[in-house]
Amino acid sequence: MRFTVCQRVLFTLVGMAGAIVGFMIKLPAGFRHIDKELHAVFYFLAAAFLNVLFARTNLLRHGLVFLSLYGFGMGIEYFQAYSNRFFRTRIHGRFDPEDLQANLQGLLAFSLLWLLATGAILLYRSARPKSGKARSNRTSDE
């Protein structure tokens, strides 16, 4: 099933709103020891979601998704630090460069997977005989 551009943008905006809320509240105590791993997994899955929606096998679009997500992560970290000053209470942690590093690790892990999968897809497409050419060559040889 193919989604329209408006539907894809709507999915993205809903996902971003959920991510903003999720990143702005304090992590439950039971998960605080795996905060960095959660960052990496979230950005891996977000990159997968956005690449399926927008990039598919297009390298330029993949790069834009990568940069957009990294910028989104930086913005969230700065917003967390700002919100603590704005509300004069600590609703979340502080700006954490280690979170940015974990975000980048998740994005790089997905990019490696994406490059391998895209390479395999493109190789498969180029190795597969074209149905129109195969028929025309067969009939002209007979």
Summarised one tens digit per residue, pLDDT across range 21-70 is 888 777 788 888 898 999 999 999 999 999 999 999 999 999 999 999 99
Task: Write the pLDDT tens digit of every residue in 58-117.
Answer: 999 999 999 999 999 999 988 888 887 777 776 676 788 999 999 999 999 999 999 999
The token pair that represents 34 in the structure block? 């795996």
Averaged pLDDT, 108-134: 89
Give the helix ranges, DSSP H, for 25-130.
35-50, 59-86, 97-127
Q: How many domains does the chain contain in total? A: 1
Give the residue numbers spanning the domain of 43: 5-141
